[in-house]
A and B are shown apart, each in its own frame.
Chain A
């Protein structure tokens, strides 16, 4: 029996680095990472069968429901190798599985010496997995290719073994075959982790250096920081320091997760565990930062620290203006656990008081919005997402624009917009339609490779602005759901961009302003004015709806004045009824927004701002 009773296992702070193996699992949503992790917890004996629940490590409800991991964790697994019979400690570091969290993934990878590349052998590798695999290879991690779900009738392990071996540079026979569900092959996998992944190296005597690879806010304990020790040792009650900020903290608790937190007498070289310092805000304990000893500080930080940089912005407004303070409190609370979320108050003439929020990307934005609505019971309107623009005026001044309505109206010398590199994996039959889509979004083809006979990797360079709106929905619908997408920011480029304003009766509606490529200004104007004509009820006067670039009108629609709004009869019995209706309308007035003299119902704003630029159908979930 290769499991070791916990009491007899090597103890934290007293484990020889030679006995340690740090690894993570790179996998796509649905490819069975959580099930495999559950199985490992069971086989190594850290979770008894009767305490087991599905997706043990995924904490948040949203994670479990969506089957994705947002925040990572690290679990210490004792293991007696079936090959050499020696005791080992395996630290499984869970990685976030989605495109927006590339930086967090890179920090998790930096805490490991090896990675399991886990692929569902009924589906094959997906774009984000590929991106994370490349990231792992850049970090010089040892890759163990593993085909999962071999129990499925639709499994094609031979086919995908060839695909994986090409990507990793091994023989198809080197790919392990497992079933997280039945447990088949998992013991062999644990043994191979010991055999293939190198032990951590580090100096026991050097000043302590530990990499923060995750930081989570807990209501009871404050911020829990997850670290991997590279050099030296961290001990309880010791004073520590974050190198990037220079701030000093006291270590209130230190320990490992197995899979519940257990305090320890410290963490030594190569070990992975948690720190608690009493700070209340994850921004004081940032992913990528280096923890060192205050008394004997390291001179140099571990490399690779970056401040999280918001890439996508959107205005969030409460539907009921009275909820504004609740929204502010909710954002404050979310920020405790989300160092990447930024926001500042913003006022829209059309939508009232709200916040301009910055996100790492689209998924991050959706998750934040969903949590605000679900956990804080708020009803929100969000403006169409946009990117950050760097605008140079003719007088040479530079302006950073995160809200289209703030785009300068004066003469613009040039504008820079963020550019991304997109990787799309899909069956080769969809090459044509994918290229058509990317081309229509100002994409430049970067290359194309066949992963196998009928699966292809297509690389495009695209402006980020072109994918924040409905690109992913379009890609999915054009490829019957088979394509997967990954993207990473690669810089910025000058764009021929203009701001299109939407005017109701001559008044600009700030919430509808948008920055688009000059060639797309006209179709955008026609689409938006048409949509609003359908959505805004007739008023007692004619309402022209115009789309304009500066003073130039590029599209126009008209809402004709209402001609009949009266009930013909008003005698004895009708009077009370009519007055009561009037009283109700006084109440309902709150849900109307005034744009100049035009009454616009909330619903019209919500529908007009939905992430659906072509006006076809509803918005699909990702």
Chain B
């Protein structure tokens, strides 16, 4: 990399993938498995073996990387809240044993509101987890049903209270909008109830229909119909306005936070710093090189047991790739893109989007390209216009 090894690139984030769920949700295409799919009566035994393997991959990372300072750890999934609390602790200790860790690192765990209890929360809090992200998705029962989510909306309220009581610094919820059958009122009801919660961070995602999911099949068969894009755009603008009023500022196009509560782990992905994904199917990015692990947990554990790298494939980014990714990722952030990273031709294109209200004119004078809410809604198109 041109930048060389300055302070920025020696920082490291860990993503720990927990590829298990009690049940697969209809819209989800993540790399996760249910006990049924793994022919197992319960998850405890599997997860214990699995965590053993994950710890070994962390060892492999320490050998490969040497002197990196860990800034953030993120337990994602799957359903990390299914883990016994001591397994969470084992992972954090392992990283601490093999890497230098910055003071007060951000450690996040994704949780399902249905299986959070006080003792689990207290236990992981004491292991160092300081941020919980709850998959709320919606507060409206018929929307949750369409999404094939099992949780009871009241559990979200209860879980959030428990999280705060256990003394976590940060709490976030995830919402999904644009679900088939969701009205503008339904959406408003969902985010209004989210803002009642003791949160300092919120992610709102427009529903993506992934190939091969149950939801995709239902749409194909005509049982469900996606709402028009214009309405989904309306929902985004509505949400952004309310979030701002409630003191939450956008820092990436699907993420809002009380200033200071932005997820550092998320930002690592968009700033091009280094991150290592542990677990099956996880991606890693270190100094301009990216790779991803084999997808199935059994295959993954097999390779680890043989002291092999679980890597499936990798790519070395060309200068052009790096430039493209920079624009592609940074345009999504409030930080935006400094003009000196753009060519004259790209600035010319950007200027047209400024004139059409898609790019902020207030930051334009600071030589910085930042999208307006209207612009964020067509960010992929703007990227195409800039790069293609």
Contacts and interface: CB of A to CB of B under 8 A. Distances in A.
A572 B269 contact: yes
A563 B378 contact: yes
Interface stretch (A235-243, A446-454, A497-505, A578-586): A578-586
Main secondary structure, interface of A, reads loop
Interface string A555-569: 000001011111111
A572 B383 CA distance: 18
A220 interface: no
Contacts of A582: 324, 328, 383-384, 387-388
A589 interface: yes
B206 A564 contact: yes
Contact of B208 (A540, A565, A568, A579): A568
B266 interface: yes
B299 interface: no
Contact of A579 (B230, B328, B353, B379): B328
A576 interface: yes
B376 interface: yes
Contacts of A571: 266, 269
Nearest to B356: A541
A570 B290 CA distance: 15
A617 interface: no
Interface string B180-202: 00000000000000000000000
Given A562-B378, A564-B206, A579 B324 contact: yes
Contact of A570 (B282, B332, B377, B378): B332
Interface string A397-431: 00000000000000000000000000000000000
B113 interface: no
Contacts of A573: 277, 281-283, 292
Interface string B289-328: 0101000000000000000000000010000010011001
A287 to B, nearest CB: 52
B233 interface: yes
Interface string B263-283: 000100110000101000111
B46 interface: no
Contact of B321 (A565, A568, A579): A579
B369 interface: no
B316 to A, nearest CB: 12
A568 B205 contact: yes
A566 B324 contact: no
Interface in B359-388: 374, 376-385, 387-388
Interface in A558-616: 560, 562-573, 575-576, 578-579, 582, 585-586, 589
A568 B236 CA distance: 11
B381 A572 contact: no
B253 interface: yes
A575 B329 contact: yes
Contacts of A541: 356
A567 B281 CA distance: 21
Given A563-B229, A566-B253, A582-B324, A576 B283 contact: yes
Contacts of A569: 205, 208, 254
A586 B385 CA distance: 10
A572 B278 CA distance: 12
A565 B270 CA distance: 19
B232 interface: yes
Contacts of B378: 540, 562-566
A578 B229 CA distance: 20
A566 B325 contact: no
Contacts of B383: 582
A570 B329 contact: yes
B99 interface: no
B57 to A, nearest CB: 15
A345 B47 CA distance: 71
B205 to A, nearest CB: 4
Given A566-B378, A579-B321, 15 more contacts: A540-B353, A540-B358, A541-B356, A563-B229, A565-B377, A565-B379, A565-B380, A566-B253, A566-B379, A566-B381, A568-B205, A570-B332, A572-B283, A575-B325, A582-B388
22 contacts: A540-B358, A540-B378, A540-B381, A540-B385, A541-B356, A564-B206, A564-B229, A564-B232, A564-B233, A565-B377, A565-B379, A565-B381, A568-B205, A572-B277, A572-B283, A573-B282, A573-B292, A575-B285, A575-B328, A576-B290, A576-B292, A585-B388
Interface of B: 15, 204-208, 229-230, 232-233, 236, 253-254, 266, 269-270, 275, 277, 281-285, 290, 292, 315, 321, 324-325, 328-329, 332, 353, 356, 358, 374, 376-385, 387-388
CB-CB nearest 4 A-B residue pairs: A563-B233, A568-B205, A565-B381, A564-B233
